[in-house]
Amino acid sequence: MKAIQITEERKMSLVEIDNVNELKPGEVLLKMEYVGFCGSDLSTFLGKNPMVKMPVIPGHEVGATIVKVGSEVPEGLKPGMTVTLNPYTNCNKCASCRNGRPNACKDNQTLGVQRDGAMREYLVMPWEKVIPAGLLTPRTCALVEPMSVGFHAVSRAQVTDIDVVLVIGCGMVGMGAIVRSVLRGATVVAADIDDNKLALARRVGASYTINSKTEDVHARLLEMTGGFGPDVVIEAVGSAPTYQMAVDEVAFTGRVICIGYAKTDVSFQTKFFVQKELDIRGSRNAMPSDFRAVIHYLERGTCPVDEFISMECSPEEAPQAMEKWVEAPGKVFRILVKNLVKR
């Protein structure tokens, strides 16, 4: 069958891989309808993802249809169902798994990162990683995983309705954090350097926006919070300046949640860790409950899904689509590859 493969820096092509012959007990055969390119795929394409060994099939943001189920698969999963995927593995042995947090498994292998991903015609998955998508279309399903990462960060922050939450970075993950914070009743401030993304952040519920390139972030935050600063800061960029901003701007006794991977070392005034008595927490991947919460939200039909999808392309057009993303990285939310299986 056909698959998209990144073979080396800035080289992507269609390749032939082995077909699925038979299913083992507990496995489900899926037809890939839509698969999204995310920031980790862009890093891989640019040869900057240290977790990837090339060649690799990218993709872990999935909208799929069940084709066939093996023995020992629960009756709730049936051929023809629209589903998405939990793309992470867990070993059930490490400290994270023992503590009930398999999303942070020490030996996790995410589809398209540490192992071949979903940019192929068909994929076999264990039934435990297949998530029924309710009323969602396969196209919308491809947005579930990145939004769930933002939802999980809000859970890590223990956001409540009395909190002011600053979300730094309004990509797909940041948008998920904005949406989940709003759903929990918090007042949300969105920060980014792109006015179009900030406008979209308001569409999904942010009460305030700050263009951190053109505005005084510190002054604006003090003005919005009566001089206290935000109770929670969610860092969804992954850069030294935004990590520093998170620690500098969060209120005393606030919570800082780190999602983004900074590509360089970050220097901090560690006195703020102590003086503010901060809770600084990492947030990795997502839990099954986060996926269900995103699906529940998207089923409402209030999310501007079309505005989150910057481009759709065929497998043959995927290399050109990635090059366009390289040319304007800040302007792209998601690129979806469709028609992996020719009709």
CATH architecture group of domain 147-282: 3-Layer(aba) Sandwich (3.40)
Mean pLDDT of the region 68-80: 97
DSSP annotation string for 265-319 = -----THHHHHTT-EEEE--S--HHHHHHHHHHHHTS-S-HHHHEEEEE-GGGHH
Question: pLDDT: is 328 or 169 the higher one?
Answer: 169
pLDDT of residue 269: 84
pLDDT average, residue stretch 315-338: 93
Mean pLDDT, the chain, integer: 96
Name the DSSP letter for residue 24: P
pLDDT band at 81 (very low <50, low <70, confident <90, very high): very high
- Residue 66 is predicted with a pLDDT of 98
Instruction: For residue 120, give the DSSP letter.
Output: B
Confidence at residue 263, expressed as pLDDT on a 0 to 100 scale: 82
Query: What CATH superfamily is the domain 2-142+304-338?
Result: Medium-chain alcohol dehydrogenases, catalytic domain (3.90.180.10)
pLDDT in tens, 197-241: 999 999 999 999 999 999 999 999 999 999 999 999 999 999 999
pLDDT for the residue 44? 95
Q: Domain ranges in the chain?
A: 2-142+304-338, 147-282
Q: Is the pLDDT of residue 343 over 70?
A: no
The contacts found for 91-96 with CB under 8 angstroms, 24 or more apart, are none
| C-alpha to C-alpha distance for 65 and 84, rounded to whole angstroms | 8
Segments in the chain forming alpha helices (H): 39-45, 95-98, 138-141, 144-157, 172-183, 195-203, 217-224, 240-249, 271-275, 288-299, 305-308, 318-327
